[in-house]
Amino acid sequence: MADSLEVAATWHGGYSCTVRARKHEIWVDEPASAGGGDRGMMPTEVFCAALASCFCLALAHVAGKRDLDLPGLEVKVQAERAGRELRYGRFVVEANADVEDGRLEALMEPARRVCWVSNTVAAGAEYEYRTTGATSWASD
């Protein structure tokens, strides 16, 4: 894993933008009921998608280290709002796979330890918000 990552979002009007990372791009938008065009997931859904996908890959990783197969592996994330605040206060991460009882449960904690997104959310992080300077669009 790289020591740092860079992702860029470009606004397309309304509540819609595209997000680029390396050579990949996704649309992010709000549903029509919230004033968006519903061209993609909401930012909060992308956040939950990051958690679900990272934990899914972490489970597959720790299973592979133990020569275990996890057929049908699926991870779901449910976010619960923190009262009336503009944030989520609780996340429920649920995994399912077509394996014997107890096998998946035994992998949950080792997977949590190697899940970058889980670790980042649990530990918290510093945030710095800044601009890169004004761009002049005036014509001569």
In three-state form (DSSP H/G/I as H, E/B as E, the rest C), the secondary structure along 79-137 is EEECCCCCCEEEEEEEEECCCCCCHHHHHHHHHHHHCHHHHHHHHCCCCCCCCCCCCCC
Contacts of 108 (CB under 8 A, 6+ apart): 59, 95
Domain count, the chain: 2
∠ CA 1-25-128, rounded to 5°: 60
Please report whether residue 137 resides in a domain. Answer: no
User: What does the pLDDT average to over 91-120?
Assistant: 97
Domain that holds residue 5: 1-40
Asked if residue 80 is part of any domain, the answer here is yes
Per-residue pLDDT, 104? 97
| Structural tokens at position 77 | 């994330």
Do 58 and 99 have their domain in common?
Answer: yes
Tell me, yes or no, whether 136 lies in a domain: no
pTM reported for the whole predicted model: 0.89
In a domain, residue 135? The reply is no
Determine if residue 64 is left, alpha or beta; phi over 0 gives left, psi from -120 to 50 gives alpha, anything else beta: alpha
In the predicted model, what is the mean pLDDT of the chain? 94
Co-location of 54 and 108 in the same domain: yes
Same domain, 2 and 56: no
Q: How confident is the model at residue 2 (pLDDT cuts 50, 70, 90)?
A: confident
Alpha carbon distance 76, 56 (integer Å): 9
Q: Are residues 51 and 115 in the same domain?
A: yes
**88 and 110, same domain (yes or no):** yes
Cα-based angle 66, 47, 95 (whole degrees, multiple of 5): 35
Statement: residue 137 has pLDDT above 60: no
Mean pLDDT of 1-27: 94
Q: Do 89 and 114 lie in a common domain?
A: yes
Going by pLDDT thresholds of 50, 70 and 90, the confidence category of residue 128 is very high
Q: Are residue 46 and residue 113 in the same domain, yes or no? A: yes
